[in-house]
Amino acid sequence: MKFFVDTADVAAIAELNDLGMVDGVTTNPSIIMKSGRDILEVTKEICDLVDGPVSAEVVATEADDMIAEGRKLAQIAENICIKVPLTWDGLKACKVLSDEGNKLNVTLCFSANQALLAAKAGATYISPFIGRLDDINIDGMDLIADIRTIYDNYGFETQILAASVRTVNHMKDAALIGADVATAPPAVIKSMANHVLTDKGLEAFMADWAKTGQKIL
Ligand code: G3P
């Protein structure tokens, strides 16, 4: 499973990128707002830093305006992936922009039927929002599994990008189901390294090592 980082925090992206953990980056209007940065500037900086696709989202709601914004965002760098919402206008924009050779991420997906439409409109990635479904007591992972089945039934090449990932269990479950990508905040990716038994085991090793009086260096 590929890891995308769901942030516009350049320092956090750089830290994970140095470890080979970054296959791409996703942003959205809320993430840009949180960064306090200009969208064109910060997106360019991220595109220069990582090799993989960097999703930048349009903010228009009419197809023609989305297309114009998408074309402008695509000029930022070669690795831009234009993000459009899963509305009828968003699907129209997806079709036009993907036919022009751009990568498209169709976001705010909450149903398998929406994902089916996005694939037919030429989406490179579909972004089902796991955490926001969990928020309303619907298991977001069931949606990932349904989309996996539908895409595999018909050989759609659109990649499933599990989004609104909030926990390490979301990462594990997305990987078990076979999501192509999961995008998560840096803190979630980093906390995948944590285990209480690792901490406990290390503590015991350090205590025993101290008793030996030895040094390696
Ligand atoms: O990947 C989409 C993400 O940014 C939304 O996450 O936690 O606001 O639902 P959240």
What's the whole-model pTM score? Answer: 0.96
**How many residues does the structure list for the chain?**
217
Task: Over range 179-190, report the average pLDDT.
Answer: 98
Determine which residue's CA is closest to atom 8 belonging to ligand 1. Answer: 164
Domain containing 82 equals: 2-212
On whether residue 139 sits in a domain, the answer given is: yes
* Token pair belonging to 215: 């040094």
Query: What CATH number did the domain enclosing 188 receive?
Result: 3.20.20.70
* pLDDT over 70 percentage in the chain: 100
Q: How many domains does the chain have?
A: 1
On whether residue 49 sits in a domain, the answer given is: yes
- Residue 20: the pLDDT is 95
- Residue 173: the pLDDT is 98
- Residue 112: the pLDDT is 98
Backbone angles phi, psi at 184, to 5 degrees: -145, 155
On whether residue 105 sits in a domain, the answer given is: yes
Which of 3, 9, 27, 28 best tests ligand 1's pocket when mutated (most atoms within 8 Å of CB)? 28
Could you read off the pLDDT of 196-206 as tens digits, one per residue?
Answer: 999 999 999 99
On whether residue 6 sits in a domain, the answer given is: yes
Residue 30: C-alpha distances to residues 46, 68, 85 (Å):
16, 21, 14
- Residue 140: the pLDDT is 98
DSSP codes joined into one string, 123-179: -SEEEEBHHHHHHTT--HHHHHHHHHHHHHHHT--PEEEEBS--SHHHHHHHHHHT-
On whether residue 13 sits in a domain, the answer given is: yes
On whether residue 217 sits in a domain, the answer given is: no
On whether residue 109 sits in a domain, the answer given is: yes
Half-sphere exposure of 11 (CA within 13 A, CB side): 1
